[in-house]
Structure 1
Amino acid sequence: MTVALLLTAQANAVPSYARQTGVACSGCHVGGFGPQLTAFGRQFKLNGYTQSNGEKNVPLSVMEVESYSHTSKAQPDNAGPYDKPNNNFSLQQVSLFLAGRISEHVGSFAQVTYSDIDRKLTMDNVDIRFAKPVKWGEHSGVFGVSINNNPGSQDAWNTSPAWRFPFIASALVPGPAAATLLEGGLGQQVVGASAYAAMDGRYYGEIGVYRSLSASMLRRLNVDDGGSIAGAAPYVRFNRTFSGPGHMLEVGLTGLSARIHPDRMHGPTNRYDDLGVDASYQYLGGTNSIFTIDADLIHERQRRNFAFVEGGADHPQGHVTTANLNASWYYKEHYGLTGGWFDVRSDRDTLLYAPNPADGSRTGKPDSSGLVIQADWTPFGESASYRSPWVNLRFGLQYTMYKKFNGASRNYDGFGRNASDNNTWYAFIWNSF
C-alpha cells in the first residue's frame, strides 16, 4: 500500500480522565503527559475509561499543538496548501475530546480535530467501550467490547503504530512512500467492533472486524477516502505481560487483513495481510527515573490485483516490512529524552513507487531508514504541580535524520534530492486542559 508516512502520531493526553479519577496525569502517563501509559493507565483503558472518584465531572478536554518545522533543504513545492516550502510555523492541531465515564460499564474516548494545515475540522480517533470485571474460578480479569475507527487505536501498549514514538511530529515534511496497512492505512475511514479479554494482568486477547464508512459519510467527516473494504477486515491482537516490582515486560502479536476496492467499484481488489510482533519494557521502580523500551516489526504481504490490472504496479504481488525501536528516559516527571530508530523496506516496483520531485523513488524501491531524537520538558508533570490536572504543558525539540529515503541516500528522486535534505528540526508546544 502506497501512503505518505509522515512519521506522525496522534498526540493524546486527556485531563478529563484525571479529574474523573482523582488521579494525577502522572499516575496514568509516563513523564506526566500522554500518550505513554503506565500500568495504571493501561488498566484504566482496559476497564473502559470508567473508574471514578464518585464526583461529577464534565468529560470534556481540549488539546492544542503549535509547532515549527524546518528541513535541511526546502521542499520542491509548498509543504502544505497554505504553507511555504520550508520554515513553517503552524497551529498543527486543536482537538476537542469527549472522554470519560458514560455509565458504570461504558466509557468514551472521542476526538475531533482542527488543523490550520488544511483548515478543516475532521473526525479523529474514536473508541467507545463496554467493560466489565469477570472471574474464571481463581482467575480474575476484564471482558470488554470496543467500537472504534482506527485499528490499533484501542490498544493499551505503546508498540501499536497508533501510539508509538514519535508521539507527535510534523505534518509538513516529506515521509517514506511505503507503509503497512496497520500503520494508519484505515484510520478514520472505517468502523469496527472488537471483543477483548484480559486475565490476571498477564494475558490479553482481542478479535474484531472492520468495515468501510460510506463515501458520503467520509465527506461529511472531512476524512480522505482510500477506497472500500470488500466485506470485512479481521483484526486480532494477543500479548503476554510479565510484571514485577517496578518492572513490566510485554510481548505481543497483531494481525490485520483487508481486501480493498481503491475506486469503490466491483472488480479486482488490492489485498493486504499484515502480521506484527512487538515487545515493550518499562522500569518504574525508581523515585526519579522512568525507563521505557518499545520495539515492533510488521510484515505485510500485498496482492495488487487492482493496481496490476490498471497499470499502477509492475508486479501483482509484493511485500513491505517496517521495524521500529525506541527508548526513553524521564527524570522527575519533568525532563524527557527519547531516541528512536526506524526502517522501511519494500520490493522494487517502478510503477507503484514512481519518481516525482517531492518524494518519489528513482529506484522504484522505497527503502527508508533513520533516527529520531527528542528532548522535552513538562513543567507541571508532577502530581503536586500547579493546578493539576487542569494545567498540562510540554515543550519539545525533535530532530529526524535520514540515512536512506525512498531507496537511496543520494539523488533518490532523480531530481538531485538527497535523503539528508529531508532531515527535520521540529519544535512544539503541546497544551492540554
Structure 2
Amino acid sequence: MLSRLDRMPLVRAPLLALVLFAGLMPAAHALPAFARQTGQECAACHVGAYGPQLTPYGVAFKIGGYTDSNGQAGHVPLSAMLLGGFTHTGADQQDPPTAHTHRNDNFTVDEVSAFLAGKLTEQLGAFIQATYDGVEQRTALDHADVRFAHAMQLAGKDTVLGISVNNNPGVQDPFNTMPVWGFPYTGPAVGFGGGDAATLINGGLEHRVLGASAYAFWNNSLYGELGTYRALSPSVQSITGQGRGDDMGRLGGDTAYWRLAWMQDARKQAFQAGVFGLRTSIQPDRLSSGPRDHYDDLGVDASYQFLGTRKHVATVATSYIRERQTSDALFASGDAASRKVSLNEFRLNASYYYDQTWGLSAGRFLTVGKRDPLRYADGFANGSPNTSGYVLQADWTPWGKEDSWGAPWANLRLGVQYTMFDRFNGAKHNYDGNGRDASDNNTLFLFAWTSF
C-alpha cells in the first residue's frame, strides 16, 4: 500500500534512481524534447513560444500522453532548464530568506532543472523534472506526470482514454489554469509572490504525494478526470529530496481529486470552462487513531485565447477556489481557535503577445478567509489571512519559432515582473506588528529563463 512506502525497498530504489538520473543528466543531451519529438516549433504548443500557457494543440499533446511525434526515429526525451534573476523588494526583509542571501537586492540562480520529457512508447509518455534550487542549495524531484493514453472512437467521436500517475494535484491538468501552472508562470525565490495562507490544492500537497487518475477526452471538447492520492512516507520524501521536516502527515483513504471541463477550438480562437475539486483529510501525527484535519476544495476556472494568424495573440484566464476546513487536529493541539473556517482564492490574468515574441501580462490575485488568531498568528494582523495585489510583466522571447536560432534546440525568455500588494496577511499597514506594511513587500524581479 502507498501509505507503507517506507517499508518497500523495491519502491525506494527506483525513486532514488530516478532522482539521480534526472538530476545528473549530462548537458550534452539537454534539448527541448517536445519540440524535437513533434517537429513543431515551441510556439505551436505554447502561447508566446514559452511558458505553461498551452494552445489547443498543446492541450491535445498533453492529453495524448506526450506521445505525438513526427514519426522519425532517434528522438531522445531529455531537456534542461535554467532560471536566474535579480530581486528587489520595497523594503529590506527583516530576515534574509537563507544564510547566503541578503536582506535585499539579490542575484540568484533560482532553478537548474533536468527533464525526462516525451514519448517512451507508442502510448506511454512522461514529464518528469528534477530541480536544483540555487537559493535553498538542494536537489529534489520536482513535478512528475507519467501518462498512458489510448485513442479510440466512442459514439462516433474521437476519444482519448488515459491514466496519469503524478505527484501534485493539478500538475496533470491539460488546460494549465489551476494554481500549479497559473500566472505568474515564474516568480522570485527571494521576494514575495503572495501571502502566507493558501488552499490545499494550491501547493499544499506538492511533491509529497503520489496519485493516480483516469481521464477521458471526448470529441476534442469534453474532459473528465477522477483520481486519488496517498502521502509519501517521510523516508521516501527524504529520498526524493523533499526533506522530512515539512512532512504533512498521512492522507485519508477517501482522498479524491476530480476535474470536468469543456473546451472549444475554433482555430482562430479557443475557450475553456470547467470545475475541479479536491477532498481529503490529513492526520499530522500519522497515528490511525489520532484526530484529522479535513479539507474540501471546490474550484471553477475559465480561459479564452484569441489566436488569429498567431501574429497577435491575446489570452484571458481566471479561477476561483473555495476551501472549507474542519481542523480537528489543529483544534485539539491548540493551534486553531475554531474547528471550521473557510479560505477563498481568486485569480484573473490577461496576456498579449506580438509575433510570439513581445509580451505584456497583468494579473490580479485575492485571498480572503475567516479570522482565526491561533491558526493565523505570527506575521498576521488580527488573525486574518487576507492578501491581495497585482502582478505586471513584460517579456521578450526571441527564439522558439520555426526560423529561430537553435530551433528546435533552444529557447529563451527575458522579462521584468513587478508584484505589488494592497494587503498582506490581513492588513495594509503593520501586518506583522513590527511596522511592516504590505507595500514593503512589493517585489521587482528581472529574470532570464532558458531551456535546451
Question: Normalising by the residue count of structure 1, what TM-score does the alignment of the two structures yield?
Answer: 0.94
CA contact (8 A) 2:77 2:117 kept: yes
Contact 1:69 1:170 in 2 (8 A): yes
SS class of match (2:179): coil
Per-residue deviation, 1:243: 2.9
* 1:73 and 2:91 are equivalent in the alignment: yes
* Residue in 1 that maps onto 2:436: 417
Aligned residues: 417
- Local SS of the residue matching 2:331: helix
Match 1:376 to one of 395, 405, 410: 395
Q: Which runs of 5+ in 1 are unaligned?
A: 1-12
2:415 maps to 1:392: no
Q: Is the 2:317–2:350 Cα contact (8 Å) retained in structure 1?
A: yes
Q: After the TM superposition, which residues 142-221 of structure 1 pair with which residues of structure 2 at under 5 Å, given as runs?
A: 142-174=160-192, 175-221=194-240
Shift of 1:287: 4.1
Match of 2:13 in 1: none
1:33 aligns with 2:50: yes
Instruction: Provide the secondary structure at the position in 1 that maps to 2:398.
Output: coil
What is the DSSP-based 3-state SS (H/G/I as helix, E as strand, rest coil) of the residue aligned with 2:238? helix
Equivalent residues in 2 for 1:132-151, closer than 5 Å? 132-151=150-169
Report the residue type matching 2:423 in the other structure. K
User: Counterpart amino acid of 1:243?
Assistant: D
Other-structure match for 1:326: 349
Q: Distance in 2 between matches of 1:285 and 1:300?
A: 37
Q: Extract unaligned runs of 5+ from structure 2.
A: 1-29
Q: Distance in 2 between matches of 1:58 and 1:136?
A: 33
Q: For the residues of structure 1 that align with 2:374 and 2:39, how far apart are their CA atoms?
A: 55
Distance (Å, rounded) in 2 between the aligned partners of 1:234 and 1:30? 31
1:233 aligns with 2:252: no
CA distance in 2, matches of 1:241, 1:54: 27
In 1, Cα distance between equivalents of 2:272 and 2:301: 8
> In 1, are the aligned partners of 2:400 and 2:410 still within 8 Å (CA)?
no
Identity %: 46
Offset of residue 14 of structure 1:
7.6
Measured on the aligned residues, the alpha-carbon RMSD in Å equals: 1.2
Displacement of 1:138 after TM fit?
1.5
Equivalent-residue separation in structure 2 for 1:188 and 1:232 (angstroms): 19
> What one-letter code is carried by the residue in structure 2 that aligns with 1:226?
M
Q: Residues of 2 paired with 1:74 and 1:138: CA distance?
A: 62
1:195-221 Cα deviation digits (max 9, x unpaired)? 000011110000000001111000111
SS in 2 for 1:273: strand
- The answer to whether the 8 A contact 1:299-1:321 is kept is yes
1:107 and 2:129 aligned: no
Structure with greater helix percent:
2
Once the two structures are superposed, residues 57-86 of structure 1 have per-residue CA deviations (whole angstroms, 9 ceiling, x without a partner) of 111000000111111001111122321111
Shift of 1:232: 4.3
Contact 1:16/1:58 (<8 A) preserved: yes
Aligned partner letter, 2:163? V
Aligned match of 1:348: 371
Deviation at 1:15, TM superposition (A): 1.5
- Do 2:360 and 2:394's aligned partners in 1 also have CA atoms closer than 8 Å? yes
Give distance in 2, aligned partners of 1:200 and 1:275.
Answer: 26
Structure 1 residues 99-134: Cα deviation after superposition (integer angstroms, max 9, x where no partner): 011101000100000012111110101000000101
Specify the alignment match of 2:324 in structure 1: 301
Distance 2:233 2:51 in 1: 32
For 1:10, the equivalent position in structure 2 comes to none
Give the Cα separation in 1 of the matches to 2:309 and 2:70: 27
Q: Retained in 2: the 8 A contact 1:209–1:235? A: yes
Change (3 A) 1:331 1:114: same
SS of residue matched to 1:162? helix
Counterparts of 2:49 and 2:432 in 1: how far apart (Å)? 42
1:321-362 deviation line (CA, Å, top 9, x unaligned)? 00000000010011010000000001100111112xxxx112
Corresponding residue of 1:274: 297
Runs of 4+ in 1 over 4 A off after TM superposition: none
User: Are the equivalent residues in 2 in contact too, given 1:79–1:86 (CA < 8 A)?
Assistant: no
TM-score (norm 2): 0.90
